[in-house]
Amino acid sequence: VTVVMVNNMNFAMTGGQVAPTTPEESKTMTTPYGSGEPRFDVCELAIAAGARLAIGMRLHCLIYAAAAGVPVIGLSYDPKIDALMKCLEQPYVYDAASVTADVLEEAVGQVLAAEASVRRAVSDAAVVMRERCREDVAAAAAMLAMRR
């Protein structure tokens, strides 16, 4: 099964109603004070269901996929996407404003042709990133402890 989803996070065709993917703090025509309901993350669902590949423009989609060892292709609209892909040592990052379907199709083919090695590389890089995160948390906790 191939899922291609463009998620604008609301039901725009019906006047901007809140949708299951609308972030809680977002205001729509039907929720002028925000939704109050937790957002459903489709990327997390796909990864949990065993996705072989994630193509993401949102940082958290790419982080969740990498943490699960799922190969990723980044569509960059912000330097944070480029930085994450660099940390993951993945060359598959393209400018979201100018990438073409042909370029993405070629990238998907390359990733899936080398799926095992890409999956291993992403998993290994995610382990390193987790350790860096633990070190950052420990350093922040130590700084806060000194202030007491």
- pLDDT for 147 equals 82
- pLDDT for 8 equals 64
How wide is the angle at C-alpha 90 spanned by C-alphas 87 and 96, nearest 5°? 100
Query: pLDDT truncated to tens, each residue of the chain (148 aa)?
Result: 666 666 666 666 666 677 777 778 877 777 888 877 787 777 777 777 788 999 988 888 899 889 889 999 999 999 999 999 999 999 999 999 999 999 999 999 999 999 999 999 999 999 999 999 999 999 999 999 998 7
Tell me the whole-structure pTM to 2 decimals.
0.71
